[in-house]
């Protein structure tokens, strides 16, 4: 049985849009670190990426939750305006042109967008700057 971690419901991510989350992940040494991710949607397809720009490694959203360019067509990094495809995470313009966001496989389970195979930790006790960006992480079974 694969343990799934529900991030949110599919209806909570609008079509042609993106939504960010800050999860708590356990590293190989057992330490808990913040793990900002984002979920994008094109039609009924959902894509997960680490929220880390391949240029300098920081979050794309310099303003929390703002991921899209002015026209709302592409992911954009608020630092130096690199732009990325919503579905592939490929950077087609900007200082990291030709690179891509790190993809995170998602599983859609009964209307929920889920992660599998990731050692997530409870976020209790973490100092989260942006509490609105932290989802309730539920464990569901298959
Ligand atoms: S850090 Fe994202 S474009 Fe420079």
Which atom of ligand 1 approaches the CA of 82 most closely?
A: 3
Q: How many CA atoms lie less than 13 Å away from 21 in the CB half-sphere?
A: 25
Confidence (pTM): 0.84
Task: Please tell me the CATH code under which domain 4-140 is placed.
Answer: 2.102.10.10
Q: 77 CB less than 6 Å from ligand 1?
A: yes
Q: Tens digits of per-residue pLDDT, 18-62?
A: 999 999 988 888 888 889 999 999 999 999 999 999 999 999 999
Q: Which class for 22: exposed (0-12), middle (13-18), buried (19 or more C-beta within 10 A)?
A: buried
Instruction: Give the Å distance between the CA of 1 and the centre of ligand 1.
Output: 39
Give the phi and the psi of residue 41 in degrees, each rounded to 5: -140, 135
Instruction: Give the Å distance between the CA of 128 and the centre of ligand 1.
Output: 23
Q: Which of 17, 45, 23, 11 has the alpha carbon at shortest distance from 118?
A: 23
Which atom of ligand 1 approaches the CA of 58 most closely?
A: 1
Contact 45/87 with Cβ under 8 angstroms?
Answer: yes
Q: Tens digits of per-residue pLDDT, 53-85?
A: 999 999 999 998 899 988 889 999 999 999 999
Mutation test residue for ligand 1: of 76, 84, 91, 96, the one with most atoms within 8 Å of CB: 96
């Amino acid at each position: 049985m694969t343990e799934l971690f529900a991030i949110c419901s599919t209806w909570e991510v609008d079509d042609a849009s993106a939504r960010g989350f800050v999860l708590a992940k356990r590293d190989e040494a057992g330490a808990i670190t913040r793990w900002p991710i984002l979920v994008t949607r094109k039609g009924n397809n959902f894509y997960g990426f680490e929220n880390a720009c391949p240029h300098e490694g920081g979050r794309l959203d310099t303003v929390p939750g703002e991921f899209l360019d002015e026209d709302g067509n592409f992911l954009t990094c608020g630092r130096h305006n690199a732009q990325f495809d919503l579905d592939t995470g490929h950077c087609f313009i900007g200082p990291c042109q030709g690179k891509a966001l790190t993809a995170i496989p998602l599983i859609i389970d009964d209307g929920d967008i889920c992660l599998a195979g990731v050692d997530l930790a409870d976020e209790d006790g973490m100092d989260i700057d942006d509490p609105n960006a932290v989802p309730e992480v539920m464990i569901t079974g298959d």
